[in-house]
């Protein structure tokens, strides 16, 4: 049976674990391998790891780090950052990663998603849409290169194309809410949910378990991803890797069961 998923999202910058606000000012918060070890103990549903340098700097994926992460992870792992061709995708999967996240490359060459789905299967292809409101009318647009450049595309329209090309999952990542811990952009998520049947994971804005509960209660079977919520604790944002207890997680998941 499909269930809501509660997923930590780790950002990698200069080889370390960082947290950003609105995709800016990365703050070092620790070693990614140590974070994975803690999340193993806490029995997280799955883990997303995104290298925020690779695409912007034109770098290859960090295969040594990916290998270390995959070897350590006892949960499904989704890795993204710098992926531009099929050979990179296949190498990442061979290292033990279950899903590969594709962002800028999906915008620059949408057919790359079709090629990836054909070679790896849709279940391994995740499209991450980094989304920000722009202009006087505050329209949603998809951004690329770690949020540094607008594609001019509407995410609500683009998601249909991604589904038709074989993507297996969509991550809706709000740049405007990244790191602010003020709640998910439910309007954005609903607009995209209404245009696709693909599994959706929401990212950007979660500041409490109540935010996750509200997301699951509204949308049912959905992925609730968060960064700051699972690496900071308290109003002073002390660094502390954390995750809901089994009882709290089960209560959150039950809130979404029975919804489609």
Instruction: Write out the catalytic residue numbers.
Output: 130
How many of the other CB atoms lie within 10 Å of CB of 258? 8
Distance separating alpha carbons of residues 117 and 207, to the nearest angstrom: 34
Residue 252 · residue 212 · CB < 8 Å: yes
Which region holds residue 226: left if phi is over 0, alpha if psi is between -120 and 50, else beta?
beta
Q: Is 38 exposed, middle or buried (0-12, 13-18, 19+ CB in 10 A)?
A: middle
Give the position of tokens 């589904």. 163
Give CA angle at 39 (64, 51), nearest 5°: 40
Distance separating alpha carbons of residues 141 and 131, to the nearest angstrom: 6
Structure tokens at 99: 């899903």
């Amino acid at each position: 049976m499909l269930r809501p998923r509660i997923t930590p999202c780790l950002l990698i910058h200069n080889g370390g674990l960082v947290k950003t606000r609105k995709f800016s000012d990365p703050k070092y918060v620790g070693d990614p391998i140590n974070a994975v070890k803690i999340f193993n103990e806490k029995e997280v549903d799955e883990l997303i790891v995104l290298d925020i340098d690779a695409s912007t700097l034109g770098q290859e994926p960090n295969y040594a780090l990916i290998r270390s992460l995959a070897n350590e992870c006892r949960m499904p792992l989704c890795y993204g950052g710098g992926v531009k061709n099929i050979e990179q995708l296949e190498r990442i999967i061979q290292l033990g990663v279950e899903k590969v996240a594709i962002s800028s490359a999906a915008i620059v060459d949408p057919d790359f998603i079709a090629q990836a789905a054909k070679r790896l299967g849709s279940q391994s292809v995740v499209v991450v849409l980094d989304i920000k409101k722009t202009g006087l009318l505050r329209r949603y647009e998809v951004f690329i290169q770690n949020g540094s450049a607008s594609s001019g595309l509407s995410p609500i329209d683009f998601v249909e194309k991604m589904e038709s090309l074989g993507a297996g999952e969509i991550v809706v990542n709000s740049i405007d809410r990244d790191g602010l811990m003020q709640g998910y952009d439910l309007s954005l998520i609903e607009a995209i949910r209404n245009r696709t049947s693909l599994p959706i994971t929401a990212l950007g804005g979660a500041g409490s378990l109540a935010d996750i509960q509200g997301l699951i209660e509204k949308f049912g079977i959905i992925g609730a991803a968060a960064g700051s919520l699972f690496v900071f604790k308290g109003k002073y944002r002390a660094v502390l890797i954390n995750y809901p207890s089994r009882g709290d997680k089960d209560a959150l998941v039950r809130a979404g069961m029975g919804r489609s």
